[in-house]
Amino acid sequence: MKILVIGQGGREHTLVWKLAQSPLVEKIYCTPGNAGIAQIATLIPCKDDYNELADWAISKKIDLTVVGPEVPLAAGIVDDFHQRGLRAFGPDKKAARLEGSKDFAKQLMAKNDIPTAVHQTFSDADAAITYIQDIRSPVFVKADGLAAGKGVIPGRTPDEAIKAVQTILVDKAFGAAGNNVVIEEELIGEEASFTVLTDGKNCLPFVSSQDHKMSHDGDTGKNTGGMGAYSPAPVITPELHDFVMKQVVHPTINGMLEIGCPFKGVLYVGLMITDDGPKVLEYNCRFGDPEAQVLLPRLKSDLVPLLTACIDGTLDQQTDVEWHDDAAACVIMASGGYPDTYQTGKNITGLENAAELEGVNVFHAGTELKGDNIVTAGGRVLGVTALANDLKAAIEKSYHGVSAIHFDKAHWRKDIGYRALARI
Ligand code: AMP
Ligand code: GLY
């Protein structure tokens, strides 16, 4: 098979790495990709016009396109590819609203009794402010649409919450994504990520995982795309797993089917495990990043038949999926300053030394090739991932890998997995 992967982060490097192990795969292309992906796939230049990309895919006889990030999914790339007779993995535009509109997601949850925070949606700033003044408890204020992970603002005091409403609804800091704002109660607990593959009816849960969103140790600093991840996440006990499947995953998939929007692809549920049980923080319509960097290395089975079964509606026939017992950890090495401003173009050294460590994989996120050198090209630069017998050993191995790699002003958290280690 010839495969096209769309995206350029650590998630896409991990996808390409896993797909390349399949005996079914003869060639992989990636757009736009990065320096790590270029070592296993042929990079093609970014085309913003999906019809042009589909023409290219037809001309190269691409058998399967795998879409990594949410933006092309929400914009309808899968619809465009399917209309041209191409096979593409991921939800169509209507189904991707689960991530593309927080209000849509909340309506689906309300209709299907899926546990989540108490909330209301507003398009009018005065009404939103009155609501905040009336409830007087800490809230989260969220832009309805996609805002590159920046559209969620804590409002722990009424003043902070009102300022967030102004930023989103009045100043339009996130453009049209902020035409509506969702205000919800703050949930207290531990977060976990729950990932399933689904063909619209059937679903296959992945092993559990957890990421670290805050930029600095002890979960302080700023919200980022994710500074590290691990799998399994001990907070997801077998009982919680069953609860989430029964009360969240199945009602979500069935609810989408009932309204004529079967969701096919990766459903990633962000959960808060509260004293009252798990509650949904958000849905994502794709693999988490860095969660993909710990989930895919733990999958022993071939990924290709699972992805095509999601497209064909035959996931129920995939009954012999196998997982590695090993635990996985990923430490993100970021550019100093991320998630605020940072410099790029820094020379990266030691990648070969890290890659030689047994069980260690270095997945590239923001890297590019300049002459013969691999240089930094983004905020999150590398995901240093390791598999080992247990979580403690996997985390140690990841840090061993990190210590082999150098670039100017590199920043990484030193405490990845601390909550999990405290539980074990
Ligand atoms: P979201 O994109 O909706 O998952 O929000 C991003 C991050 O904000 C989450 O991973 C949580 O850390 C935090 N967050 C969002 N909503 C809430 C909430 N209702 N209570 C507590 N934390 C939240
Ligand atoms: N790691 C969080 C996300 O991918 O949204």
Q: Can you give the residue ranges of every domain in the chain?
A: 2-92, 124-179, 190-317, 327-423
289 lines ligand 2 (CB under 6 A): yes
The pLDDT value given to residue 424:
78
The pLDDT value given to residue 60:
97
User: How large a percentage of the chain has pLDDT more than 90?
Assistant: 95
1 pLDDT above the threshold of 80: yes
Q: Which two tokens stand for residue 42?
A: 């042929």
Which listed CATH number (3.30.470.20, 3.90.320.10, 3.30.450.20, 3.20.20.70) goes with 190-317? 3.30.470.20
Q: Which two tokens stand for residue 14?
A: 């991990």
In the 8-state DSSP scheme, what is residue 37?
G
Q: Which two tokens stand for residue 361?
A: 């994989």
Closest by alpha carbon to 334, among 395, 392, 290, 287?
290
Identify the residues whose C-beta falls under 6 Å from ligand 1: 117, 140, 142, 152, 184, 186-187, 191, 213, 270, 272, 281-282
224 lines ligand 2 (CB under 6 A): no
The pLDDT value given to residue 262:
98
The pLDDT value given to residue 46:
76
> How many CB atoms neighbour CB 322 within 10 A?
8
Treating both helix axes as pointing N-terminal to C-terminal, what angle do 291-298 and 10-19 enclose, rounded to 10 degrees?
Answer: 10
The pLDDT value given to residue 293:
98
Query: What band does 47 get if pLDDT is binned at 50, 70 and 90?
Result: confident
If you take atom 6 of ligand 1, which residue's CA is the nearest one? Answer: 152
In the chain, what's the furthest Cα-to-Cα distance? 61
Q: Is 365 helix (H, G, I), strand (E, B) or coil?
A: coil
Alpha helices in 46-101 (DSSP H): 50-59, 70-75, 77-83, 97-100
Closest by alpha carbon to 34, among 392, 367, 401, 421?
367
Task: Write the pLDDT tens digit of every residue in 347-402.
Answer: 999 999 999 999 999 999 999 999 999 999 999 999 999 999 999 999 999 999 99
What is the residue whose two structure tokens read 């309506």? 107
What's the CA angle centered on 218, arms 330 and 420, to 5 degrees?
50
Distance 245 CA to ligand 1 centre (A): 21
310 pLDDT above the threshold of 80: yes
User: How large a percentage of the chain has pLDDT more than 70?
Assistant: 100
The pLDDT value given to residue 297:
98
If you take atom 4 of ligand 2, which residue's CA is the nearest one? Answer: 288
The pLDDT value given to residue 115:
98
pTM of the model: 0.96
Distance 211 CA to ligand 2 centre (A): 8
Treating both helix axes as pointing N-terminal to C-terminal, what angle do 102-111 and 250-258 enclose, rounded to 10 degrees?
Answer: 100
**Mean pLDDT for all residues in the chain:** 96
Distance 279 CA to ligand 1 centre (A): 11
Q: Which two tokens stand for residue 1?
A: 């098979």
The pLDDT value given to residue 149:
81
Query: What band does 268 get if pLDDT is binned at 50, 70 and 90?
Result: very high
70 lines ligand 2 (CB under 6 A): no
If you take atom 5 of ligand 2, which residue's CA is the nearest one? Answer: 288
88 with 286: CB under 8 angstroms?
no
Alpha-carbon distance of 372 to 369, in angstroms, equals: 7
What is the CATH topology of the domain spanning 2-92? Answer: Rossmann fold (3.40.50)
293 lines ligand 2 (CB under 6 A): no
Task: Write the pLDDT tens digit of every residue in 179-237.
Answer: 999 999 999 999 999 999 999 999 999 999 999 999 999 999 998 999 999 999 999 99
Alpha-carbon distance of 356 to 266, in angstroms, equals: 32
Bond prior to 32 in cis (omega within 30° of 0)? yes
**Between residues 364 and 150, the one the model is more confident about:** 364
Task: Tell which one of 168, 194, 209, 272 to mutate to probe ligand 1, the residue whose CB is within 8 A of the most ligand atoms.
Answer: 272
Alpha-carbon distance of 137 to 135, in angstroms, equals: 6
Alpha-carbon distance of 124 to 120, in angstroms, equals: 12
Alpha-carbon distance of 291 to 229, in angstroms, equals: 6
317 pLDDT above the threshold of 90: yes
Residues in the chain: 424
Task: Tell which one of 109, 140, 271 to mutate to probe ligand 1, the residue whose CB is within 8 A of the most ligand atoms.
Answer: 140
Please state the rounded mean pLDDT for residues 322-338.
Answer: 97
The pLDDT value given to residue 45:
86
226 with 243: CB under 8 angstroms?
no
The pLDDT value given to residue 337:
97
48 pLDDT above the threshold of 90: no
Q: Which two tokens stand for residue 126?
A: 């005065």
The pLDDT value given to residue 150:
85
Task: Write the pLDDT tens digit of every residue in 85-139.
Answer: 999 999 999 999 999 999 999 999 999 999 999 999 999 999 999 999 998 899 9
Alpha-carbon distance of 347 to 372, in angstroms, equals: 10
The pLDDT value given to residue 415:
97
Which listed CATH number (3.30.1490.20, 3.20.20.60, 3.30.1330.120, 3.60.20.40) goes with 124-179? 3.30.1490.20
Task: Write the pLDDT tens digit of every residue in 238-255.
Answer: 999 999 999 999 999 999
Question: Would you state the CATH architecture of domain 327-423?
Answer: Alpha-Beta Complex (3.90)
Distance 230 CA to ligand 2 centre (A): 13
If you take atom 3 of ligand 2, which residue's CA is the nearest one? Answer: 288
